[in-house]
Structure 1
């Protein structure tokens, strides 16, 4: 396993990273604006981990992008792959993606997961539900409950985060599939959208386009549109509203409050620019009918994973938003006031952070995509 090699560099020292033992993986202390925290390695040996969910008994259910689902014990033991996972399109950014427990998991043992589903034409983001048999390490009664209505070729921009709202409906974030970005502005298409579905895949009657009045060709699952590639989403702990962030191209990563029926602009309104040539995309950075971002990052940090912190382990962070970053290999802490970001602190983790969760123990948990590890933040 590769260790963190740059820990004594000037960059690391300036970021406040101090090695307290033989290796960063288990003994790193990060100096933050509100005190020191310890970065603890819980498990390792994973292959491109993408998402995690906490079972009631404290174990972790997690996905690996090549198409495997595993359980991680409270002692850090990683299980064999679970049986029953469907075939995935494991190319580029595609594969097995997010996983979430049903709100009634304690009684129905149901999970949902998203994946790049191969088709005869190409592939598409799909969502399946299944019953987890944790002791037998398998999934039963696997059923696809949603799939994008277009399946272009290519291996990029699948989304895909899964968030249950307070009524038990499921938000699914869907990428624009990169080469099909103009479809994000087309309501007949699922590309570049966030959709909201019932647990069985049905359409909630209060979705903004469910009745199709004034937009007869709009897909009824659509909740919001004009998105590029949303890889972080969570419910606001007070309002219950969905918040999400998405990748911009060259600049223009966005954090958004996702409201029903709103257009978030891509690719017409964006702070991002074209790769390589750096020319402007679309019409500009604002328009009256486009919902502006709460925050945008230029240059791009490549955000992935997101959690509102509500625990008591770090009382100084209560109410903050935590966003993982792939490109800049950090954890961003955002301070909110009246629904606006008033301050950002960047914790230099030094590895690609794919997922961020608050555990039932009140700690912050991270997935390190670079080294295939589960990490936890503890008070130092």
Structure 2
């Protein structure tokens, strides 16, 4: 009877060992095949609008991603690599893209400021294709198309504001094959102070400069051509040197006057009334920038003409803790943020080596248990 009891206990131990071994193998299999199981899901993309936008407009792109927590976007079209490039850098590495964080409900959204695209001069009036893919599983993707159109005139004035005796440069491009543009400088009443004619290159670009001899005040620069139905009109502020120096003075610090011959004051960045500028950088670079929960691009970047008031700024990048700060902008102010992002103390994904070490340790424990 004692022998039968010992034999039964031995068989029970053998069964336990077999069950334990099978359980270990199942756990190892789950760990090793977890990446494959995570590949289930879909990615979608859509744009908000009629299907056509001018280069320089803000295009809203959104969609869903049920395959992962990061969506990356790339664009292709005439003159761009077929693999696509980041939507904010047309000179970027082919096949790469800009990342957008997926919300907890599986949706994502980005405000694509096409005026901030690097190498935007590569874009022309044509149909472009934007692909959204999951960062971890790029084979799960979706593509939409939209027509990007060059405005009949695109131009900017530099510097703006300017001061008397400054040299103001007007650079831009023309959509159609015109040979020249007419530049008129007027005041708010419509009085024309100067009229200039600038040649336009075969590719549609022009560059013209003039010497400022008007009194401080608000003026307009109008660029036109008889072949273009709608002329372009831009604001030009002429300020006194003392006003610009006062604007650049830090509150609470008494400025020291230093006589420097032939030195013009530094012009402020161009901003519309009632707005400010936010300059963002981060370590590491390439963090996604969210302004009031809407993605604006990646660091480093400047956000111009932001409405005065309080804004929520968030910087997010995979592997690092999110950075958020409530920023208050005042009229004409420039705020600079350069945070160092902290790495996320999250668990490191299991690798085959980790699984192998786990199996060895588990086997050793099972062997010791069997000998006990």
TM bucket by the smaller chain? Answer: under 0.3
Structure with more helix by fraction = 2
Please give the TM-score of this superposition, normalised by the length of structure 1.
0.24
